Each structure stands twice: as structure tokens, then as C-alpha cells.
Structure 1
Amino acid sequence: MTAADDLVSRHGAMMNDLARRAICGESSSQPSEKLPPEFGRAGASFVTLHRAGSLRGCCGSVSARRPLVEDIKANAVRSAFSDPRFAPLQRLEWGTLSLTVTLLSPLEPMRFEGEADLLSQLQPHRDGLLIEDAGRQAIFLPAVWEMLNEKEEFLAHLKAKAGLAQGHWSPAFRASRFSTAQSAAEPLLCRASEKMPEIA
């Protein structure tokens, strides 16, 4: 079990609550001094929203640059209101969505000789992948393997997400993999009296 797995197994519900309260505009029920010490350490997270099994928002951090508690709250608000693929969340959607928090391990730069070598090293359903080339980058969490379970398909769609041609390759192509631990999905329930945060 990784450190992220252990943290999620012990405090996944608290992570979900932090994300939910950030989206709903509600202050945390846990004073910072009452949070587990790991929440005050730098961490990288993604917050994902689904509606009836379909993605409704997903934003996160590739690397750990701020305290985990702040990272979760910021990414929750981004997922709900600033994901460029979706319209900002509306009050009428409360109660129709589910929420999960995913913790990322540190990125592991990969060494490979060409695309075939890169593909041979990928571990489906375990590896998340970040690719970078030509001033572009894109990331897939391991959960994407559930929809794209072939290595070639996974990489091709990730290239497309980065704005690269599916057949693109260059000597400067870089890839890093990582693992994740994800909280159990919970409904996004906000009280009617709660006020959504204002997004600039």
C-alpha cells in the first residue's frame, strides 16, 4: 500500500467533504489544527465530478506545490466552475452529481527509445501518464484506462488531448507516469442556504 492509498483509506471521506464544502461555498467543519498533519504537507490532487456516469468536471494539479488541503479546495472549485470543457455548475445541478478526490504520486520520468518502447512500458489500469512535446502537454489519470483499455488507443487520445496529431512523434517527446489513490464517490449535496463561491 502506498502512502497515498493509506491516506485515502483513512481520510477519503474528509477529503470529499473539503471538496464539497469548497464547491458549496461552505466553510470547513474542521479547523486547520484539527486536520491530519498530512493535509498540511504539499500534495497533488484532482477533483472529479460525474453525473449519471458521465464526466461533468475534472481539474487538478500535476505536482505538489501547496498544502494538500488548499490543493483539494482549489481544484474542487476549478472542477465545478472553471473546467473549460463544461459550463459552470448551476444550483439546479446540486444533488445530481457525484464527487471523488484523487491523490497523485510524484511524477516518474520515463526513458524510452521511440513510441513502441514507451508503449511496452505502460501498465494499463495502473499508470497515469503525462506527455509533453512541442510546447504542449496533457495528462490522463489511471481511471481513463476504463474507457481506453488498449495502450495504443490510450496514447493516441492523450496526444489528441494535448493538441498533437495521433501519429505525432519527435526526439523531444517526453512522458512521465504516476500512480493514484481515489476516494469513494459521494453525492455532491449542498444546502439551499449555502452560497456558491464567486469565480472571477
Structure 2
Amino acid sequence: MSKYHLLTNEGILAVKLARQTIESMLNDEKPQRIPNLPLNFQEDRGVFVTLTLDGELRGCIGYPYPIMSFEKAVMKAAISAAFEDPRFFPIEKKDFNRVCVEVTALTIPEELEPPFTSYTNQIQIGKHGLMVEYQENRGLLLPQVAVEQGFDSIEFLCQTCIKAGLTPMAWKYGAKVYRIEGQIFHEIEPNGEIVEEKL
């Protein structure tokens, strides 16, 4: 089994941890750990937490690289997605019962092999997310974005460059492109059943 593969119960716990962390902050309480988490939660790994309110994006923040334990990354990403995403106002307590929580556990980013003309052959829609880096700019789109938006590989590359604050074709002109894989666990309805999404 891959070091980065989560069992279903582990993914469910990750979503519960993210929701519990946000609820604690909304109640002006210190976030509490879930006791006896599986060992996987102590491994360093990348993660993103995505929040939707009435089906619309309400926050999405995470860490593409494994720079802290999965447990800590989930908690920090949950707080950031709820209260620090610059695209949105902070979540308010009165709205949180309408929010669905999603956790995407990531593999380590893998740089695509040049030349850029081969990039599209190295990207599988529904399997890979993309990250683009150029100097101080960096942007990442999760695997589910390409599926939800109907992107092909070229559009996915261009949109990830735009997310990085670059021109759409920057992937042809020296920007580094990485692919990542993700396991996605989300609530079907706010605070409801948690399932693994298969793209």
C-alpha cells in the first residue's frame, strides 16, 4: 500500500478533524485533537481543505508539500480555509451549518519531464492535479478542478498558470510544472455522511 494512501476510515477522520477544528475556532475554543488517530496522521504529507457553502466554493487552502504531520496540516488548512482565504470573508458561526467540508490528501509533487511538448502526455485528467512555479509565483489546482470544469490537459496547464499569476502559456516558457495525485474525502451534506470521491 502506498505511503500516501488513506483508508476510508482515515479519510473520514480527516474530514471530522477539519470540521471540529473550525467549530472550535467559531466557539472561541482551542482546537482539540481527536484522540488515538491512526499512525498515518503523524506522517508528513500535503493536504488541502475545501469548504463549500450551499454548493459554492467558500474557501480552499492547503499545503502542497509534506512539511508537517497530516494531523497538523489538516487542522492548519481548515483554519486557513475558513478564516484566511483572501477571496472570501471569514466564515461566520451562523453559516457553518450550511458548509460542506472536503479534505484532499496529496502525494509529493512530481516535476514533469521536459520538453514542454510532452507535458500533455504526462497529465491524466481525473488523476492528476497541477502545480506551476516560476520565480516567486506558484499556483496549484487540485485534480477535481479539471473534472468539474471540463478542462483538457492544455486548458488545465493554462489555468494553473493563471492561478499562479502568470500568463496562460507560461508552462511553455520556463515555468516548472508538477503533477500531484489526491485522495478526496467530503461530506455529502453539511456535517453529514463522509465519502471518498472517485474522479
Partner AA of 1:145 in structure 2: A
Contact kept? 2:65, 2:109, Cα under 8 Å:
yes
Q: Which runs of 5+ in 2 are unaligned?
A: 192-199
Partner AA of 1:102 in structure 2: T
Q: 1:143 and 2:155 equivalent?
A: no
Q: Calculate the TM-score normalised by the size of structure 1.
A: 0.84
Secondary structure of 1:175's match?
strand
172 and 140 in structure 1: CA distance in 2 versus 1, 3 angstrom threshold? same
Q: 1:120 and 2:124 equivalent?
A: no
Contact kept? 1:20, 1:188, Cα under 8 Å:
no
Q: 2:34 aligns with which of 30, 37, 56?
A: 30
Structure 1 stretches of 4+ moved >6 Å: none
Corresponding pairs, count: 185
Q: Which residue of 2 aligns with 1:10?
A: 9
Partner AA of 1:72 in structure 2: V
Q: Which residue of 2 aligns with 1:48?
A: 50
Q: Which residue of 2 aligns with 1:131?
A: 132
Q: Which runs of 5+ in 1 are unaligned?
A: 190-200
Q: Which residue of 2 aligns with 1:192?
A: none
CA shift at 1:171, angstroms?
A: 4.8
Q: 1:70 and 2:69 equivalent?
A: no
186 and 77 in structure 1: CA distance in 2 versus 1, 3 angstrom threshold? farther
Q: Which residue of 2 aligns with 1:152?
A: 154
CA shift at 1:53, angstroms?
A: 2.1
Partner AA of 1:111 in structure 2: E
State the structure with more CA Rg: 1
CA shift at 1:8, angstroms?
A: 4.2
CA shift at 1:172, angstroms?
A: 2.8
Partner AA of 2:17 in structure 1: L
62 and 169 in structure 1: CA distance in 2 versus 1, 3 angstrom threshold? closer
Separation (CA, whole Å) in 2 of partners of 1:57 and 1:35: 25
CA shift at 1:188, angstroms?
A: 4.7
Q: 2:167 aligns with which of 159, 165, 168?
A: 165
30 and 163 in structure 1: CA distance in 2 versus 1, 3 angstrom threshold? closer
Contact kept? 1:45, 1:101, Cα under 8 Å:
yes
Separation (CA, whole Å) in 2 of partners of 1:62 and 1:169: 19
Q: Which residue of 1 aligns with 2:196?
A: none
Secondary structure of 1:12's match?
helix
Partner AA of 2:34 in structure 1: Q
Choose between structure 1 and 2 for higher RCO, CA contacts under 8 A separated by at least 6 residues. 1
CA shift at 1:170, angstroms?
A: 5.5
72 and 186 in structure 1: CA distance in 2 versus 1, 3 angstrom threshold? farther
107 and 143 in structure 1: CA distance in 2 versus 1, 3 angstrom threshold? same
Segment of structure 1 superposing worse, 162-171 or 86-95: 162-171
137 and 29 in structure 1: CA distance in 2 versus 1, 3 angstrom threshold? closer
Q: What's the CA shift string for 1:108-149, capped at 9, x where partnerless?
A: 1111213x3212321111111111124311011100112142
Secondary structure of 2:170's match?
coil
Separation (CA, whole Å) in 2 of partners of 1:184 and 1:135: 32
